[in-house]
């Protein structure tokens, strides 16, 4: 984002806000590429995270296109089953760890210091390192395609003991997961420290913007969950190469143990992805409703409740492994409980809109799209939480539909809302509102075209992760594939909109959204200068 | 949403709807959009539960988003609506916490009864062990009428149909060589296990699904209410051919079942091979080719070239042209940590001798024949 470079010329024009730029608004001693490699500036690093995430989003998206192209018709046409499995595995890993998680860390980097009145993140060099681990992890993942046997074809859940049958690509993937985990843990420690120690005077915890709250809770989830995943894949590694039998019954181990460990990470992971999305939505909806968030305190409590509950529901991903009936009942009750705090959040967002003064710029459209579709995904989640119904639907396309409603219509829509919402603050320029709206409607329509019909496929009995299918499933698969191609192409429009905004967007007004009221809007010029809040603002 | 902004939304919506319409119209085939018809009481209970929950969530969904869309319409700025600044209301917040909790209890109660019923595998009339093997199912009747029957069931759809060289049949990917046969109205207990990786055995019409876990035995039960053929597939990713290991259960009347048991037992007796018998090269090759086509071809390919490195070539390979013992051991015991299964567990000595002979004397290989007795000698 070269526009960030341009901003420093203007920064002195904007001293009306808090007037403490000291004329050293530089970008460090390096220019060009070295600037980005050596940067310790939270805004630069936020930008890096976001671009990295977008590249990964397109990479994972291309894999989804391959999957949908193969599933366009019954029979094997384009890829062989082995490569198909590699595609589903890598699509999942790349989207979860490469696209969605880094996108929200990008938002955290840009926004948290500005929202709490801090000059930067607490550990600036660590911040640089957290980001620069990512490209290496991504490279390892991609490299696995070029090893003998290719990338692992085991699904993103990396279930044992299938993982033991894979080639070197599996080991590269394991190392990539280690590095990604390290990056997340370092990033989280940084975020927790920043939020707890660097708030401006008067910015008490219960006055922090919701986005900051959700990230504080998410960061704790990450610190707790990522080491568990690292443990699971390390055990896989030693089972593969060093003769251990953690997941092999012949040596006293248990394949189901892997699933327990994985989902002990995996379910909190769902909320690691969802909570920052909730945070973005909680900034956008009040801004475009011109009305404060209805129940701030109850939103904080609901978020915390979701985070705590997320650690005691993991085995609802495993109802079919053959748990005792008491285990099934416990996990079912605990899972349905999550509906209560999630309901509180949805009701709060709707109540925030109620009797507001609503306008529907692109960020708000994506927020409403999020609210509508995420809730739909929540309801199918409730359906799946019920043991007998889940046993019928487990590992079918119903589950695929369900989690894409949560991950795409949930997390991705929220990320889009955030991009459009903060782009003027970051670049000082406005995006093309008309194109933004087209992007929203295309995304919305094609998304439902892909995934709504997949509920029917799952109900009718189509298993997930199959490269070929019985003839009765053909029509829905065709619709789904066409939707997927449309969805994929529509995302190139986002790229165009962002580039157009950076290059030739109209100058953004100081406050482009009249209802926005957090510190970055009220206390900082637009665009935000390279260094902000060198002396903390005082929050009254 | 405002008048002048309808443009892009309208264009996109029209486009997508036109595409959708085109496709639904273009495919006259009946569209499956709900659970398959129930073939057991349990499946029916699951249907009812699903419908009950769907009605409930639909009502809530319409209610909540009724509010939201009403606000989008009535409280929009374009219409000149002024924002009220109210927030926090303990009563409202308590209500929308407590009511959902009560609704959840209303859901959990009937579900609990079904969960308990589904887990009750006691007192079965017939017990069958199901073994997931990459990529086929082994069925062994372990208790009840038909005890002792055992066979392997695998996809019977020809490769030509899968690869698009022949038109696809009615039961494409849902047909097997040996169907599981059970009597109607009897409680059948299925024990699941696996030989290599995790598989999952599922018959949607019976509401019966259970992972098959290597080294462990799990169980489930079903009681079919009507006769007929019920089809499904493996539902846990188990490697390359995961999409090609169907499950077909034929439910027959008690008489037909008894008849089938008699025939199957006779058939098994007739097919039982005497491992001490010696065969000629041609006999072994002819039989071996059939075994190869059914069990080996997916990985090692018809031309014996495999798809290295995961699935090595047999043509000219060290194992298939070297010492017999090594070849026999590989087929009998499999290769740990690869997709090469231990065929000794599911095939008799004659079949193994035949397939080894076929492999050692096909393509460019010329390495002599292996008799069943030699295989028997290598068994541990």
Catalytic residues of A: 91, 120, 156, 183-184, 267, 269, 271, 282, 316-317, 342, 345, 464
Token pair 């978020």 in the structure block, residue = A303
Whether A87 has a pLDDT exceeding 50, the answer reads yes
Residue A526 C-alpha, separation from nearest chain B C-alpha, in angstroms: 24
Among the partner-chain residues A149, A387, A469, the one whose CB lies closest to the CB of B310 is A149
pLDDT band at residue B6 using 50, 70 and 90 as cut-offs: very low
Is the bond into B309 cis (omega within 30 degrees of 0)? yes
Task: Report DSSP state, residue B183.
Answer: E
Task: Give B202 or A19, the one with higher predicted confidence.
Answer: B202
The partner residue sitting opposite A449, judged by closest CB among B20, B81, B198, is B20
Residue B14 touches chain A, beta carbons under 8 Å: no
Q: Which of B35, B89, B108 sits opposite A336 (nearest CB)?
A: B108
| Structure confidence at residue B311 (pLDDT) | 84
- Tens digit of each residue's pLDDT (9 = 90 or more) over A467-491: 999 999 999 999 999 999 999 999 9
Return the SS3 of B243: helix
Report yes or no: A214 and A274 within 8 Å, Cβ to Cβ.
no
Q: Do A388 and B115 make contact, defined as CB atoms within 8 angstroms?
A: yes
The residue among B6 and A482 whose pLDDT is bigger is A482
Q: What is the largest CA-CA distance in chain B?
A: 96
B20 touches chain A (CB under 8 A): yes
| pLDDT at site A19 | 41
Query: What number of H helices and E strands is found in chain B?
Result: 11, 10
**Would you call A360 and B2 a contact, using CB atoms and an 8 Å cutoff?**
yes
* β-bridge partners, A333: none
How many Å lie between the alpha carbon of B376 and the closest alpha carbon of chain A? 24
Q: Give tens-digit pLDDT for B33-58.
A: 888 888 999 999 999 999 999 999 99
Name the residue of chain B whose CA is nearest to A386's CA: B111
CB B53 to CB A382 under 8 A?
yes
CA torsion sign, A456 to A459 to A463 to A465? positive
Nearest to B13 by CA among A353, A443, A213: A443
Percentage of chain B lying above the pLDDT 90 cut:
59
Cβ atoms of A123 and A70 closer than 8 Å: no
- ipTM for this prediction: 0.89
pLDDT surpassing 60 at residue B202 = yes
pLDDT confidence tier of residue B155, bands split at 50, 70 and 90? very high
Per-residue pLDDT tens over the stretch A262-316:
999 999 999 999 999 999 999 999 999 999 999 999 999 999 999 999 999 999 9
Lateral strand order in the sheet of B246-252: B180-183, B246-252, B228-233
Separation CA A169–CA A294 (nearest Å): 49
* pLDDT at B3 > cutoff 50: no
Ramachandran region, residue B251 (left: φ > 0; alpha: ψ -120 to 50; beta: rest): beta
CA–CA distance, A65 with A510 (Å, rounded to integer): 41
Cα distance between residue B38 and residue B206, in whole Å: 6
Q: Do B174 and A470 touch (CB under 8 A)?
A: yes
Chain A, nearest residue to B174 by Cα: A470
Q: Check whether the bond before B135 is cis (ω within 30° of 0).
A: yes
**Above 90 in pLDDT, residue B312?**
no
For residue B129, what are the β-bridge partners?
B140, B191
| Residue among A162, A354, A388 minimizing CB distance to B46 | A388
Query: Are A356 and B75 in contact (CB < 8 Å)?
Result: yes
Q: Which pLDDT band, with edges at 50, 70 and 90, does B163 fall under?
A: very high
Confidence of residue A46 (pLDDT cuts 50, 70, 90): very high
Higher pLDDT, A359 or A27: A359
Could you give the CA distance from residue B291 to residue B285 in angstroms, rounded to a whole number? 10
Tell me how far the alpha carbon of residue A381 is from its chain's centroid. 18
Other CB atoms within a 10 A radius of the CB of residue A437 amount to 22
pLDDT on residue B7: 59
Tokens read off for B212: 């098959």
Please give the Cα distance from A153 to A92 (Å, whole number). Answer: 11
The full DSSP string for A397-434 is HHHHHHHHHHIIIIIIHHHHHHHHHHHHHHHSB---HH
Residues B162, A75: C-beta atoms closer than 8 Å: yes
Within a 10 A sphere around the Cβ of B3, how many other Cβ atoms? 7
pLDDT tens, B134-153? 999 999 999 999 999 999 99
List of chain A residues whose C-beta atoms are within 8 Å of the C-beta of residue B215: 248-250, 254-255
- Report CA-CA distances (Å) from A9 to A17, A19, A24, A363: 16, 15, 11, 29
Rg, chain B, Cα only: 29
Structure tokens at B319: 């194992």
> Nearest Cβ partner of B240 from A81, A350, A392?
A81
What's chain B's average pLDDT? 88
pLDDT (tens digit, 9 = 90+) per residue, B245-260? 999 999 999 999 999 9
Task: Answer yes or no: are the C-beta atoms of A230 and A181 closer than 8 Å.
Answer: yes
- The token duo for A536 is 């903390």
Interface of B with A in 108-147 (CB under 8 A): 108, 111-112, 114-116, 118-119
Give the model confidence (pLDDT) of B224-245 as tens digits.
999 999 999 999 999 999 999 9
Strand B228-233 with B246-252, pairing: antiparallel
Residues contacting residue A447 through CB under 8 Å, at least 6 positions apart? A373, A408, A409, A483, A487
Chains A, B: CB pairs < 8 Å: 339
Under the banding of pLDDT at 50, 70 and 90, the label for residue B334 is: confident
Q: Chain A 496-515, CB below 8 Å of chain B: which residues?
A: 515
Q: Beta strand B126-133 with B187-194: parallel, antiparallel or unpaired?
A: parallel
Query: What does chain A come to in residues?
Result: 540
Residue-level pLDDT at B345: 80
* pLDDT for position A4: 39
Report chain A's C-alpha Rg in angstroms: 23
- pLDDT, tens only, A4-17: 333 344 444 444 44
B-contacting residues of A 208-247, CB under 8 Å? 240
**pLDDT for residue A298:** 94
> Which pLDDT belongs to residue B282?
87
* Backbone φ, ψ for residue A339 (5° rounding): -60, -30
Output the six-digit token pair for B380: 């541990």
Residues of chain B in contact with residue A156, where contact means CB-CB under 8 angstroms, are none
Question: Nearest C-alpha of chain B: how many angstroms from A35?
Answer: 40
Give the pLDDT mean for A376-392.
95
> Model confidence at A26, in pLDDT bands (50, 70, 90)?
low
Report the share of chain B in percent with pLDDT over 70: 92
What pLDDT, on the 0 to 100 scale, is given for residue B77? 93
- Decide if B29 and A474 are in contact by the 8 Å CB cutoff: yes
- Chain B, window 179-238: residues with a beta carbon less than 8 angstroms from a chain A beta carbon: 192, 196-198, 200, 202, 204, 207, 209-211, 213-216, 218-219, 231-238
Residue B99's contacts (CB-CB under 8 Å, 6 or more residues apart) are: none
Question: DSSP assignment, residue B219?
Answer: E
Nearest CB among A77, A445, A486 relative to B164 is that of: A77
Judged by a CB distance cut-off of 8 A, whether residue B61 touches chain A is: yes
Query: Tell me, what DSSP letter sits at residue B370?
Result: -
B52 touches chain A (CB under 8 A): no
Catalogue the long-range contacts made by B57-65 (C-beta closer than 8 Å, 24 or more residues apart).
B57/A379, B57/A382, B57/A383, B60/A379, B60/B103, B61/A375, B61/A376, B61/A379, B64/A346, B64/A347, B64/A350, B64/A375, B65/A350, B65/A372, B65/A375
| Interval B17-26: pLDDT, tens | 666 555 555 5
Kindly determine whether residue B23 and residue A332, on different chains, have CB atoms separated by under 8 Å. no
pTM: 0.89
Helices (H) and strands (E) in chain A — how many of each?
18, 0
Q: Is it the case that residue A438 has pLDDT exceeding 50?
A: yes
pLDDT at B9: 57
Range with the lowest mean pLDDT among B3-17, B212-226, B364-378? B3-17
CA–CA separation, A405 and A413 (whole Å): 10
Of residues A282, A413, A427, A436, the one with CA closest to residue A361: A436
């Amino acid at each position: 984002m070269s526009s960030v470079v341009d901003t420093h010329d203007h920064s002195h024009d904007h001293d009306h806000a808090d007037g403490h730029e000291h004329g050293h608004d530089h970008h460090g001693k390096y220019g060009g590429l070295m600037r980005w490699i050596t940067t310790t500036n939270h805004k630069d690093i936020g930008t890096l995270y976001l671009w990295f995430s977008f590249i990964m989003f397109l990479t994972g998206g291309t894999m989804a296109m391959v999957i949908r192209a193969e599933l366009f018709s019954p029979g094997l046409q384009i890829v062989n089953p082995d490569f198909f499995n590699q595609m589903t595995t890598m699509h999942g890993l790349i989207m979860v760890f490469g696209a969605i998680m880094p996108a929200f860390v990008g938002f955290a980097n840009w926004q948290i210091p500005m929202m709490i009145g801090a000059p930067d993140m607490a550990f600036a060099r660590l911040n640089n390192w957290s980001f620069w681990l990512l490209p290496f992890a991504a490279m390892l993942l991609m490299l696995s395609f070029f090893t003998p046997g290719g990338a692992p074809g085991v699904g993103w859940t990396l279930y044992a003991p299938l993982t033991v049958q894979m080639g070197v690509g599996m080991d590269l993937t394991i190392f990539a997961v280690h590095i990604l985990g390290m990056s997340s843990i370092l990033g989280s420690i940084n975020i927790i420290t920043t939020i707890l120690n660097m708030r401006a005077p008067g910015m008490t915890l219960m006055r922090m913007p919701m986005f900051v709250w959700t990230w504080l809770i998410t960061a704790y989830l990450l610190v707790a969950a990522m080491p568990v995943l690292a443990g699971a894949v390390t055990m896989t590694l030693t089972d593969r190469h060093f003769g251990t039998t953690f997941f092999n019954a012949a040596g006293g181990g248990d394949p189901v143990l892997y699933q327990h460990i994985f989902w002990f990470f995996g379910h909190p992971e769902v909320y690691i992805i969802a909570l920052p999305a909730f945070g973005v939505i909680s900034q956008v909806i009040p801004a475009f409703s011109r009305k404060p968030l209805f129940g701030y305190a109850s939103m904080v409590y609901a978020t915390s409740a979701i985070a705590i509950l997320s650690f005691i529901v993991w085995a609802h991903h495993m109802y079919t492994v053959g748990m005792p009936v008491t285990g099934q009942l416990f996990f079912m009750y605990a899972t349905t409980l999550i509906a209560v705090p999630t309901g509180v959040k949805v009701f709060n967002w709707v109540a925030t809109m109620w009797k507001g003064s609503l306008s529907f710029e692109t960020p708000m459209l994506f927020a409403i799209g999020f609210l509508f579709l995420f809730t739909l995904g929540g309801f199918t989640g409730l359906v799946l939480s019920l043991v007998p119904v889940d046993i019928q639907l487990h590992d079918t396309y119903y589950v695929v539909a369900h989690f894409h409603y949560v991950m795409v219509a949930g997390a991705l829509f929220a990320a889009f809302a955030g991009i459009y919402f903060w782009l003027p603050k970051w670049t000082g320029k406005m995006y093309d509102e008309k194109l933004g709206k087209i992007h929203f409607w295309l995304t919305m329509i094609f998304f439902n075209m892909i995934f709504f019909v997949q509920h029917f496929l799952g109900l009718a009995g189509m298993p997930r992760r199959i490269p070929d299918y019985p003839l009765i499933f053909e029509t829905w698969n065709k619709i789904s594939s066409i939707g997927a191609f449309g969805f994929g192409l529509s995302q190139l429009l986002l790229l165009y909109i962002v580039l157009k905004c950076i290059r030739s967007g109209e100058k953004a007004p100081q406050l482009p959204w009249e209802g926005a009221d957090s510190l970055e809007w009220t206390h900082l010029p637009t665009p935000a200068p390279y260094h902000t809040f060198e002396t903390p603002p005082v929050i009254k | 949403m405002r008048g002048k902004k309808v443009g892009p939304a309208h264009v996109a919506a029209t486009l997508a709807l036109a595409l959708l319409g085109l496709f639904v119209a273009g495919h006259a085939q009946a569209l499956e959009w709900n659970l398959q018809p129930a073939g057991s009481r349990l499946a029916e209970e699951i249907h009812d539960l699903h419908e009950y929950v769907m009605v409930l969530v639909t009502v809530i969904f319409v209610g909540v988003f009724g509010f939201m869309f009403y606000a989008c319409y009535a409280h929009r700025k374009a219409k000149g609506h002024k924002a009220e600044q109210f927030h926090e209301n303990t009563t409202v917040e308590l209500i929308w916490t407590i009511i959902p909790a009560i609704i959840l209890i209303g859901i959990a109660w009937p579900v609990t009864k079904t969960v308990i019923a589904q887990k009750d595998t006691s007192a079965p009339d017939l017990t069958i062990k199901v073994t997931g093997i990459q990529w086929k199912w082994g069925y062994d009747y372990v208790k009840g009428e038909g005890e002792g029957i055992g066979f392997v069931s695998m996809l019977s759809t020809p490769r030509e149909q899968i690869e698009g060289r022949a038109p696809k049949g009615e039961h494409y990917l849902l047909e097997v060589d040996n169907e599981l046969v059970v009597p109607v109205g009897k409680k059948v207990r299925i024990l699941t296990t696996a030989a290599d990786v995790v598989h999952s055995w599922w018959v949607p019409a019976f509401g019966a699904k259970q992972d098959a876990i290597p080294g462990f035995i799990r169980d489930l039960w079903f009681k079919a209410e009507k006769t007929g053929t019920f089809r499904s597939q493996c539902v846990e990713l188990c490697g390359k051919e995961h999409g090609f290991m169907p499950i077909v259960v034929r439910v027959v009347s008690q008489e037909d079942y008894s008849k089938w048991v008699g025939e199957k037992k006779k058939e098994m007796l007739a097919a039982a091979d005497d491992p001490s018998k010696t065969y000629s090269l041609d006999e072994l090759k002819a039989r071996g080719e059939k075994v190869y086509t059914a069990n080996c071809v997916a990985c090692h390919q018809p031309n014996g070239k495999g798809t290295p490195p995961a699935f090595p070539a047999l043509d000219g390979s060290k194992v298939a042209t070297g010492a017999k013992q090594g070849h026999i051991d590989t087929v009998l015991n499999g290769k740990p940590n690869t997709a090469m299964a231990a065929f000794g567990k599911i095939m008799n000595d004659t079949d193994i001798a035949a397939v080894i002979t076929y492999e050692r004397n096909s393509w460019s290989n010329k390495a002599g024949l292996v008799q069943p007795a030699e295989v028997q000698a290598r068994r541990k």
